[in-house]
Chains A and B, each alone.
Chain A
Amino acid sequence: MAPLTLFEKIWKNHVVHEEKGKPSLLYVDLHLVHEVTSPQAFEGLRQAGRQVRRKDKTFATMDHNVPTIDRYNIKDPISLQQIETLSSNCKEFDIELFDLNSPYQGIVHVIGPEQGLTRPGQTIVCGDSHTSTHGAFGALAFGIGTSEVEHVLSTQCLWQNKPKTFEVRVDGKRQSGVTAKDIILSIIGEIGTAGATGYVIEYTGEAIRSLSMEQRMTICNMSIEGGARAGMISPDETTINYLKERPRIKNIENLEQLINEWRNLASDEGSEFDKKLILNADKMAPQVSWGTSPGMVSGIDSKIPNPNDIEDSVKRKSTEDALSYMGLKPDTCIEDIKIDTVFIGSCTNGRLEDLIAASKVIQGNKVPSNINAIVVPGSQIVKMKAEQLGIDKIFKDAGFDWRESGCSMCLAMNPDKLSPGERCASTSNRNFEGRQGKGGRTHLVSPVMAAAAAINGRFTDIRSLDLDLGDY
């Protein structure tokens, strides 16, 4: 048989119906639901008198609107209504919900893998573009709109045009201080925010293989920022070792057989992709975004571009607009940019390893009093584990706020937001205008770069601090 890619194997396994010239009807193995993109879908079901077809494959959590201080006291009445609507919808349609009282509550893309709901070979959807995160396990996972959420709730299927495949191979070995976040920001900087539109990316190569599962999730998480439909990584022993300890997996009866099936999903030797890009991690520097789109990034050791050097007129205007919004001058050294706020968290970088690594940078240091720094664990489990390790104390001693889990300042739909003009070093995934609060200025960085910026009040090359960050 012809060698197949991971994507092709999963696609083939999930086609329920296909006809020439039409999209294929795909079966969905796991449907994750959150409070922002689901109310209208449930309302649609009610109006049409439809039911949820597979409650056992549908799980919900609340994350976007949740306050990270005093979480039970939601002051914004509309946020509260959205949270309450999800609770009542889950009750009415009998869907398992990780609500604010659940010890497992957290950001949807953190808790799926943490609980072992996410597995290799699955098709996974959620009304959220960062669903691509789950692709780190060798699943085909992508974001959908609310109409599609309704469609999946009632049919457990989805119409999809078959995307093309794109291999992004990252060879070589990272320098210490260059993290998974820097790899994915470098990739987006290279291909642009529409560079993978219409494609599913599979990340391959030594620099990807050597990453832990949490780091792989950081990579796949931001596939959407490169325009990709999904991002994925073939399962290997790292994947299996992570998964077999998960609460919803460890007691499965025929686990060994399942694990063998997972192993067989990896892209076959000699399988072909429609498009290919090869990068080398050796030369990558820690990245800092300077503009209003995730493709606008530079290495910490470089300068902000000058629009006068850009020939393409659309690009030049985008750069000018971005610099004006960001309040930055062309040719400024990235290391000279001072910040007001630091946010460590989100579905990109709010996991235990992220917090541990950042805490190593913080340890024994103090955040200057004019800087507002917060850490928001991605889930209540991450928070609990970090506290068991005493990491909360390191952050608090340094002057960071230690919060409850949620999306927090990643999108500012809750009380955590930037004020106009406030400049933030953020470990999240989007630096769009106003993303973290109207007029707020976001610089995307890794957790260790965010931590270094918190201590120094400006961006600092983490490599110059000469810290032992282990495999992070």
Chain B
Amino acid sequence: MEKFKNVMSRPVPLNSAHVDTDQIIPKQFLKRIERTGFGQFLFFDWRFNDDGSPNEKFILNDLRFKNSEILLAQENFGCGSSREHAPWALRDYGFKVIISSSFADILYNNCFKNCILPLVLNEKDLEYLFESTLNFNDYMLNIDLEKNLLADNKGFKISFDIDSFRKKCLLEGLDDISLTLEHSEKIDMYEKKL
């Protein structure tokens, strides 16, 4: 897996709670048998009008947030189906960090497998980020995973919590399967008892 590096970007404020994976990537795009190329379908039903033109009202189509690598969302981001197509689409579109006040379990897990950092902040800090990115045209957020640090160019700086094992996997781009295979003997032993 690729290694997670520092991210510096103006975040996109997606002001919706309970964004489900059916919205992140609608089911008609789950039929591909590859892992790649899902970015074009991200938030498809919100991003595009029925005639295929971009929906100007949807925040991802707002030019101020073009090429952003950080997505802000309200609570319980990524609920619903377990489809890993959701993080594939988010990552392929260009997002490296997702910030919310809470995440659904499976999506949270799936992010780490795809070099995306899902960050949980308290509601107050999240609200501050939402407002700032809307208010300041030069707004920039810096995420330094190594130091557990989130800072903007307006003097706001906090350290965030993240499971240290998951952090290590992201930073070193560790592949889960190889990690597990280091424990092959234990798996063999376990199976002998079955």
Chain A contact residues, CB within 8 Å of chain B: 16-17, 21-23, 25, 27, 36-37, 39-40, 43, 48, 50, 65, 76, 78-79, 81-82, 85, 127-129, 143-148, 150-151, 154-157, 159, 161, 193-194, 197-198, 224, 227, 229, 293, 314-315, 317-318, 321, 411-413, 430, 432-435, 438
Contact = CB atoms under 8 A, between A and B. Distances in A.
Contacts of B109: 144-145, 148
A127 B82 contact: yes
B133 interface: no
A432 B105 contact: no
Nearest to A413: B27
Contact of B18 (A85, A129, A147, A318): A318
Interface stretch (B6-14, B29-37, B59-67, B147-155): B29-37
Interface string B7-27: 000000001111010110011
A194 B18 CA distance: 8
B35 A145 contact: no
B142 interface: no
Nearest to B112: A147
A76 B27 CA distance: 14
Given A78-B31, A155-B187, A432-B80, 6 more contacts: A37-B82, A144-B106, A156-B191, A159-B179, A317-B15, A318-B18
B180 A25 contact: yes
A47 to B, nearest CB: 11
B187 A36 contact: no
A146 B84 contact: yes
Contacts of A197: 76, 102-105
B148 to A, nearest CB: 15
A150 B18 contact: no
A314 B187 contact: no
A154 B130 CA distance: 42
B79 interface: yes
A16 B194 CA distance: 12
A434 B191 CA distance: 44
B186 A17 contact: yes
A145 B176 CA distance: 13
A408 B26 CA distance: 16
Contacts of A433: 22-23, 45
Interface of B: 15-18, 20, 22-23, 26-28, 30-35, 45, 74-76, 79-84, 87, 102-106, 109-110, 113-114, 163-165, 176-177, 179-181, 183, 186-187, 190-191
Given A16-B186, A432-B80, A161 B163 contact: yes
Contacts, number: 152
Contacts of B113: 145, 147-148
B187 A23 contact: no
Contacts of A147: 84, 110, 113-114, 176
A129 B82 contact: yes
Contacts of B18: 193-194, 293, 318
Given A129-B81, A432-B22, A194 B75 contact: yes
Contacts of A144: 82, 106, 109
Given A78-B31, A145-B106, A438 B17 contact: no
Nearest to A84: B33
Contacts of B104: 194, 197, 227
Which of A127, A150, A432: most chain B Cβ within 10 A? A432
27 contacts: A16-B186, A16-B187, A37-B84, A43-B34, A65-B31, A79-B31, A81-B33, A82-B31, A85-B33, A127-B82, A129-B106, A143-B82, A145-B87, A146-B84, A148-B113, A151-B177, A151-B180, A159-B179, A161-B163, A197-B105, A315-B17, A321-B16, A413-B28, A413-B31, A430-B22, A430-B80, A432-B23
B165 to A, nearest CB: 5
Contacts of B180: 25, 151, 155, 157, 159
B177 A143 contact: no
Nearest to B109: A145
Contacts of B183: 16-17, 25, 157
Contacts of A82: 31, 33
Contacts of A25: 180, 183, 186-187
A228 B18 CA distance: 14
Nearest to B76: A194
Nearest to B102: A194
Contact of B75 (A40, A127, A314, A435): A314
Contacts of A85: 33
A42 B91 CA distance: 21
A438 B45 contact: yes
Contacts of A412: 27
Contact of A435 (B22, B114, B181): B22
A411 B27 contact: yes
B62 to A, nearest CB: 18
Which of B75, B177, B181: most chain A Cβ within 10 A? B177
